[in-house]
Structure 1
């Protein structure tokens, strides 16, 4: 039987309701509900570009390319779950999971189904790659699926990889090192969801913890941190709407939903607009334009709730931004050099027990290091200090007991006298 990864990978959506039929809905019903288009400078950015020539790979449960709002958007794909169609365009998973990839794709690059009608994405002229992965018991190892999917996306022309999913652990397997480093070396921007408190993810998990990844947190319609539809953590890059979202679902309908699964493709779409407007930029400078032009929110600088602030598409596309020589979200190659070397030279430990529980944490010694780690004693310190202290403590206790018994005996003799 095929086994799942030790730490379960899950999609990140809090679904509310399906509210349209398969027939195209009126423009007022859907377009007016896409409040983020105006509130986050997206329609203004369209005066410069609508994302033509940029390709966004959606690693998810597969995109229904037959949906009217996605007609012509999906230009290729693949399946790594072993459950879907070879082109990745047959949604896989349970009923709620199978909707997920199509919803995500429509927010990034939906085309609408008529002038002024249907779901239109942030980058409506960008292309999509549909890469389906699976999370069920019959799917192959989800960690392997992700590594293979990222590599395939890079090799097949992706400029951006959208990952509205989480491993629910700070750490990630070593196989992801090579895949995500491969994306970085080819100037592919990876955009990942922070996670949802409402789904039990209180702090960000991989891939959102990986250096170089643009991590997206969620806010409500007032621009305040979402209590249910966003997690928090020091790796957050920017924030985007994650509540009262509208997305296409397989079969031609539209669904209202919430979650950083939706905030992430909004930011991926903005990244596509930046790339289309500034084709000369490498991945580090594309990300820098997005984070440095975000509207301030929370603490000054990078905030564990809002990151650098609320994303602003118009500013990201048109503002004068100084160039950078390093990715503001970190350097994965340097992290690998420091941390995987530390793992390789660590003292031998008892091999971990293999588990198939979907709630089991990763057992690999990887992921961002605890900044408080130096407060804990090392093995050497325990050997040099802890053992002598333990011996002294034992003899001290025995001596105290002896004194107490002697004192009691002495008082008993005095009373008899």
Structure 2
């Protein structure tokens, strides 16, 4: 199976892409991607290499995100999953459709991202399942897009501007961080006069930082640009790295990449238990019945959103601009010239960021201009986890000092996640 994503506008193209993925999975890659045998209780936790890579146990000595709500603007979050019980408040569904929570193709992406941000595990001592970056933070779910295998993908959304409406809803309902693991290709002319750009300005002016996936077009030079809304001024655009701190080949590059985070071979909670019928074969391998392993800038975005939640918990007075600067100033794996278009300022360092945040007095937010470039669509990323052994060796980090507009021609798919798709 090709590992390159197809970025096209138009609902028909989207549905065709999904059908081709399914057909190719059955014909070529299904033996690789079928659900794994039942897992030992700690296999999921053992596979969570980012916990050690990011130094999270040390960061948790300062805070685990208590008192912070992260809005996950995504495909919906199933809050009854074992790793998320008690964490999730369900906001509006701005896209609608016939799929409902509990269906296999509702909330796959969103539930996974929420678990990376604020999963608390389960079982004795919460030793099993997915442990998120900020396990004491809360999640506000706002459904603004559909999963790529959702049978309703071609239907009109309930709102004609679900992403911008979702941003404003999150701000008005107490979110202290907004996470958007979605994105679209850059088309058309620069414009600050869009619903999404206005919503971004609204959030920043109200002191709410926005973290966005950079995109998964890195393998295609013709399409390798930071996607939108990661390209909006004032948001925190996130690239993806592997367990060795190297940029993931699929991760989009560009000036708007602020920082990077783990985005390859990432365990995340499923919205329902896998029945073994192959429903999740296109998304990636399954550990046991309740955990999917995926890749993309989507989980990288979720990791950074979790780090921002830790920072907000430790110092609620910080503005979005201050938080973004702290992430950049304290990043590890800093490029030779201080930043580059692949990793931005480097890989987020929660421990260093929390230390820096403790000594910074807060200041009011200032509105930030937010350019936008035309209609956009969303697409899966292209990475495989075949070369990322679960529970394999992790390169230890050297600590450093450091919507889209939904036009009638646009189509909403998912950006940058669960890209563990065949060879």
Report the TM-score when normalising by structure 2: 0.69
**1:356, distance to aligned residue in structure 2 (A):** 2.9
1 CA distance for matches of 2:206 and 2:168? 11
Query: Aligned residue for 2:257?
Result: 236
Structure 1 outlier segments of 4+, above 4 Å: 5-10, 14-21, 170-173, 198-201, 320-327
Aligned length: 326
Work out the CA distance in 2 between the residues paired with 1:161 and 1:81.
18
Structure 2: gaps (5+ residues): 1-7, 15-20, 26-31, 147-152, 274-289, 374-406, 413-423
**Change in 2 beyond 3 A, CA 1:332/1:139:** farther
Partner of 1:356: 409
What is the CA distance between 1:285 and its match in structure 2? 1.6
* Paired residue secondary structure (1:128): strand
Q: 1:305-350: per-residue Cα shift (whole Å, max 9, x none)?
A: 00010110111112366569798xxx763457xx99xxxxxxxxxx
Q: Does 1:333 align with 2:368?
A: yes
> Superposition pairs for residues 362-373 of structure 1, below 5 Å?
none
Is the radius of gyration larger for structure 1 or structure 2?
1
State the superposition RMSD in angstroms: 3.3
168-177 or 121-130: bigger deviation? 168-177
Where relative contact order (Cα < 8 A, 6+ residues apart) is larger, the structure is 2
1:84 CA drift (Å) = 6.8
- Distance between the aligned counterparts of 1:260 and 1:167, measured in 2? 13
**1:90 pairs with 2:101:** yes
C-alpha distance 17-132 of structure 1, shift in aligned 2 (>3 A): farther
Partner of 2:376: none
Q: String of CA shifts for 1:284-323, please: whole Å, max 9, x gaps.
A: 2222222211013334223110001011011111236656
| Superposed counterparts of 1:133-148, under 5 Å | 133-135=144-146, 136-140=153-157, 144-148=161-165
**What is the rounded CA distance, in whole Å, between the counterparts of 1:17 and 1:145 in structure 2?**
32
Task: Choose which of 160, 164, 167 in structure 1 pairs with 2:184.
Answer: 167
Pick closer, same or farther for the CA change 1:143–1:254 going to 2, 3 Å: same
Calculate the TM-score normalised by the size of structure 1: 0.70
- CA deviations 1:161-188 (Å, max 9, x no partner) are 1100012226576111221111011110
CA contact (8 A) 1:184 1:212 kept: yes
Q: Please say if 1:33 is aligned against 2:55.
A: no
- The residue number in structure 1 matching 2:143 is 132
User: Given that residues 103 and 249 in structure 1 are in contact (C-alpha distance below 8 angstroms), is that contact kept between their aligned partners in structure 2?
Assistant: yes
Which of the pair is proportionally richer in helix? 1
- Flag structure 1 segments of 5+ consecutive residues without an equivalent: 341-353, 360-417
Seen in structure 2, the aligned counterparts of structure 1 residues 297 and 154 have a Cα distance that, compared at 3 Å, is same
For residue 90 of structure 2, what is the aligned residue in structure 1?
A: 76
